[in-house]
Structure 1
Amino acid sequence: MKKWLVAILMISVLVIAGCSNDSGGGVSTENSTIQKVLKDKKLVIGMSPGYFPFDMKDPNGDFVGYDVDFANALGAALGKDIKVEYKQFTFDGLIPALQTGEVDMVFAGMTIRGDRALAVSFANPYFQTGQAVMLPSSDTKTKTWQELDVKGNKIAVGIGTTGALLAKDVFKNAEVLDFEEFPSAAAAMAQGKADAVVYDEPAIAVWNLKNAGEVRALEGLISSENLGIAIKKNDFETLQWVNSFLASYIGSPSELASRHKWFETSDWLTEVVEE
């Protein structure tokens, strides 16, 4: 073999070796969130409390809900010595917090959408839901969301949510009002400042339980969507690990118990506070 060909082959081997520093086959782990968490012994989760029954707080200020159970289980799967820490943001502040490294992951009942996927990476869906419409119980005539789309009506939404984006797209005549969180939107409707609220179906179902006789949900959904855990953009090692965790956790006894508690019972409603 000619010397120049040998030289080229040696250079190629060195380049390939230099491109793979994970000893696992080519995916760089230099900026891996999983590696950072294992090193720091801490997993920082971004949340936006007020999304019942996924993300809430109890009277002591502790985070509780289906997403909290999920995140705690994920942290435990990384190791018994991993501390799970929660940081609170407005919903539209969660992705920026992830991008700047303030949090390691986002658990916030976040809908997987194309525009968001340009800024973050999503693990496989962990919950399927859709957008619903909530009305005051005094409105006994409205049967469909289309009937609300008339000039003079006001539709309350949580800023930055999928419900907000959807409402601004489908309501051509009614005015869509942004509120910081779902409870604020619901309160505005209760005060007569809005005629309806568009938000995720599970949260509206819980609100209906909590405020029985004061509100009602329209039958059917405006849309169907999947919720996902957001991680740093193109963090492939973390994405692969989280997807593996999802495959083992969803449907497990722990996940089923959490789902039963938060979605099939209402006793916990007295143990949480509205944000």
Structure 2
Amino acid sequence: MPTQWIKTLGLGLAFTFATTLANAATLKALTDPSFVPFEMMDPASGEMIGFDMDILAEVAKRAGFEYDLKTMDFNGIIPALQTRNTDIALAGITITKEREKIVDFSDPYYDSGLRILVRSNNDQVETIQDLKGKKVGTKIGSTSYNFLVQELGEDNSVTPYPGSSDMYMALMSGAIDAVFYDAPNVGYFSSTKGKGRTKVTGPLYEGQQYGIALVSGSPWVKKVNKALAGMKADGTYKTIYEKWFGTMP
């Protein structure tokens, strides 16, 4: 083989290898398009914004990867990770034993739970037991749906919705009596679009922790955890938290 061909081949292989490394450092990322204030579409810019989006951007910078972000209904996110159609996801994903069997999670980055939301003139619902016999909305594929079925039984009027906005609109229109869902999302809606028309009631149920989900065996888990730990240590996490939720407890 002529020397020039060898040089050309060597340069080509080097270029291919470098390209592969670059591509390997660009992760396919997924989020839910409507879990406010964790992730939501900014109508002005057309970009996804929110608490999770700020966390992802900072983690990526510190861990050393870029990402190509796509949106998907929440119930499709874990299956997408399981089939390796995506690499990483942030969408207020609760860490559960069942999910840990099929995907990897980062260390917890947010403490949450489940709350009840009703119309402001509803004084009959104070606990989850008061939801028996009533029409209750929650989100498809969420831990809140599983919890409701467990507490109220299969023969109840639990309606799973594909998006959180759908169940909130159903509540305000009177199509359902209550919403049972993640506490920060319920609280945010009640203080913004649902202000004066809805209220959060009852205790916090099933304390939960959110984690960044990655494909099983992902080499990025340790780097993601290191990034999260650094953000908490230097105050960056606190700054992001208070931007979206107010004073950090």
The counterpart of 1:262, out of the listed 220, 244, 247, is 244
Whether contact under 8 Å (2:40, 2:48) holds in the other structure is: yes
The CA distance in 2 between the partners of 1:86 and 1:242, in whole Å, is 17
Q: 1:197 maps to which residue?
A: 179
Residues 124 and 130 of structure 2 are in contact (CA less than 8 Å); yes or no, is this contact kept in structure 1? no
Which residue in the other structure is 2:11 paired with?
Answer: none
Distance 1:40 1:121 in 2: 18
Mean Cα displacement is larger for which, 105-114 or 82-91?
A: 82-91
Aligned counterpart, 1:33: none
- Identical counterparts, % of pairs: 28
Matched residue, 1:271: none
Alignment: residue pair count: 225
For the pair shown, the structure with the greater C-alpha radius of gyration is: 1
1:38 is displaced (CA, Å) by 5.0
Match of 2:159? Answer: 177
Alignment partner for residue 234 of structure 1, among 205, 208, 217? 217
Q: CA RMSD in A?
A: 1.8
Which of 25, 28, 33 matches 1:49?
A: 33
Structure 2 runs not aligned, ≥5 long: 1-19
Aligned counterpart, 1:58: 42
Q: Indicate conservation of the 8 Å contact 2:63/2:224, yes or no.
A: no
- Assess if the C-alpha contact under 8 Å between 2:78 and 2:103 holds in 1: yes
Q: Would you say the 8 A contact 2:93–2:211 is kept in 1? A: yes
Distance in structure 1 (CA, Å) of the matches to 2:130 and 2:83: 43
Q: Secondary structure of the residue that 1:124 maps to in structure 2? A: coil
Moved more, 107-116 or 172-181: 172-181
Give the one of 52, 60, 74 matched to 1:75: 60
Match of 1:127 in 2: 110
Distance 1:145 1:37, change over 3 A: farther
Query: How far is 1:188 from its partner?
Result: 1.1
Q: Deviations over 1:244-267 (max 9, x none)?
A: 1221112533221211111118xx
State the match for 1:115 in structure 2: 98
Q: TM-score, normalised by structure 2?
A: 0.84
Query: What residue in structure 1 maps to residue 75 of structure 2?
Result: 92
- 2:204 partner SS: coil
Distance 1:78 1:121 in 2: 16
1:166 Cα shift? Answer: 0.7
- Give the conservation status (yes or no) of the 8 Å contact 2:63–2:227: no
Hey, what's the Cα distance between the residues in 2 that align with 1:142 and 1:263?
A: 26
Q: Distance in 2 between matches of 1:123 and 1:253?
A: 19
Aligned AA for 1:71? L
Checking the alignment, whether the CA contact within 8 Å between 1:54 and 1:65 is kept in structure 2 is yes
In proportion to residue count, which structure has more strand? Answer: 2
